[in-house]
Amino acid sequence: MKRRTFRVEAAHTGRPLGEALAEELGVPREEAERLVGVGAVYVAGRRSRDAGTRLTAGQVVTVVLEEGGQSPLAAPPASAPTLRILHEDADIIAVDKPAGMTAQPTEGRVGDSLVDRVGEYLKRPAGLVHRLDRETSGVTVFGKTPQATTALAEEFREGRARKRYLAAVGPVPLPAQGTIDLPLSKDPSRPGRWRATRAANGIPALTEYRVLHAGPDFCLVELLPRTGRTHQLRAHLTALGAPILGDKRYGGASRAGGIEAPRCLLHAQALELGHPRTGAPVRFEAPIPEDLARFFAAAGITGR
């Protein structure tokens, strides 16, 4: 990733971001403002999309000039998935996040996150209140107003949001249903992974599950997380000896029963919570994606 960083000195203090950026980079102001508009510019560590923001002395400005060999101003690939809207009203929008897309932007991934895409659709910032891992697909809800975003965030924080996930795992004999009550902690021997064990001083995590299909090659499970921890479902299933198929980080197999698992086959199929305006329960459902649907079809399960 190629980027440029500079500190706001006296000459730039009080000037609009777009103007100062154009001067610093030696490019036309229009181009500098486009960089701001696509989300390639960070002021004091926070992404800024307002080229008119007045700078203050000492602020650090970072601009991503190239990522993956491509300018952030390059046209998006034609194969970019269409935003699939599950529900929209005056307060909220629920979408079906495709696998492979990050929930929120990072410095190394400019303009291609789900919150970016929803913001582009709304023509204003979208209120992200929960996140799915990059490879996980399924229901994600956003607030359309600050009030709605705050109310939705409280639903998750207070544990009132009910989530239903589907996953394909290895052929491990599991009870027909059960509860996984294992604390989570970072795995010191494997950076980026979490471990589910009582042997470490972890944070409480609770997952209810039900086996939908138990076959010689793979199992299909329904997962109902009662807490919302990072990698909770992935770590809990791994602790049972049944890592999710395609989950390379947690040791999941890349194929089963002759069917390929091209990514971590975890899907956020349904979400139910209180509407931020009325308080009435609302439920959103995302169809099973094609890669996971192949396992359901092989198991003879339809209409989930």
Cα 44 to Cα 23: distance, rounded to the nearest angstrom = 19
249: left (phi over 0), alpha (psi -120 to 50) or beta: alpha
Secondary structure element (H or E) that encloses residue 112, with its range? none
Residue 202, classed as helix, strand or coil, is: coil
Bridge partners for 63 per DSSP: 4, 41
Bridge partners for 128 per DSSP: 142
Is 181 catalytic? The answer is no
Cα 133 to Cα 252: distance, rounded to the nearest angstrom = 16
For 49-150, list the strands marked E by DSSP: 60-66, 84-88, 92-97, 127-128, 137-143
133, 181, 187, 217: the active-site residue: 133
Structure tokens at 33: 């403002």
Question: What's the longest Cα–Cα distance across the chain?
Answer: 70
Q: What angle do CA 131, 137, 142 make, to 5 degrees?
A: 40
Q: Please, how many CA atoms are within 13 Å of residue 289, restricted to the half-sphere of its CB?
A: 27
Residues tagged active-site: 133
